[in-house]
Structure formats: structure tokens, C-alpha cells
Amino acid sequence: MGEKERDLYLRDVGYLDRIPIDKHEMRFILRTGIYHSCSRDSFDPLEKEDLQNSLKVFCKEYLDGVYFKNLKLSENPTIVDKIIWYHCAKSSPALNVCGSRPKCLKDYQSCPFTGGCLFFQYKK
């Protein structure tokens, strides 16, 4: 069992602090600037564990007091991971907004994160 499969399994059995990192989460965490603002100098953007840690730091620092169905997002980053996956993935029912070709480049209103996204700010 690989890292992603392990994290998917643990998340599915109730460990809501697990973040299975794949290309969608990696792309989103790097593009938006979450990695850049919430990582340590010693972090490596190619290390999945460092990407997980930067998303956990982001949740703790910026999503404290934000809830989804009685779950505090600052303590349950897997909920944020699911939102990222639905926002980025290509397969149905996902939205493919921040996929390999971000929709914000053609229509900035297609993405609710353009106001705080480093990628969009740089490309516009």
C-alpha cells in the first residue's frame, strides 16, 4: 500500500487529519500560495509530507472558527482536501476549475479563489 492509499484508507475510517496528496492537491497548494505562506524554509515542495504539513498549517492559521457540518476545518484538514479535489479534478462530479489548464485564465469568475491566488495574480 502506498502513501496515498494509506492516507485515503485512514481518512475513510475516520482519521480526518489525513491528507492524501495527489496531483490535484499538489497543484492547488502550490498555485494558490498556500505552500509558500505556510511552509518552513526547510520544506521541499516535491515532498508530499511537506505539502500535507503546509495545508495543515494553513487550516490551523486561516480556518480556525470555520465549520462544515459541525467539523472544525482547522482540526479536520481532510475536509479541505476534499474541497480542493472537487475544485481541481477532471473526473465527474468534480469541477476541473484548477486542473491542468486553469479556467481562471479564460474567465476569472470561474474560480472563487482568484482574489487570493498567487497563480492568478501573476498570470492576469
Domains and CATH numbers, the chain: 3-123 (1.10.1670)
What residue type is 73 in one-letter code?
Answer: L
% the chain with pLDDT above 90: 70
Q: What are phi and psi of 39, to 5 degrees?
A: -115, 160
pLDDT, position 73: 95
Which residues are CB-neighbours of 97 under 8 A, at least 6 positions away? 87, 88, 103, 104, 110, 111
pLDDT, position 114: 93
pTM: 0.88
pLDDT tier, 3 (very low <50, low <70, confident <90, very high otherwise): confident
Residue in 66, 65, 79 with CA at minimum distance from that of residue 15? 79
Cell 480556518 appears where?
63
The pLDDT tens digits for 80-108 are 999 999 999 998 888 999 999 999 999 98
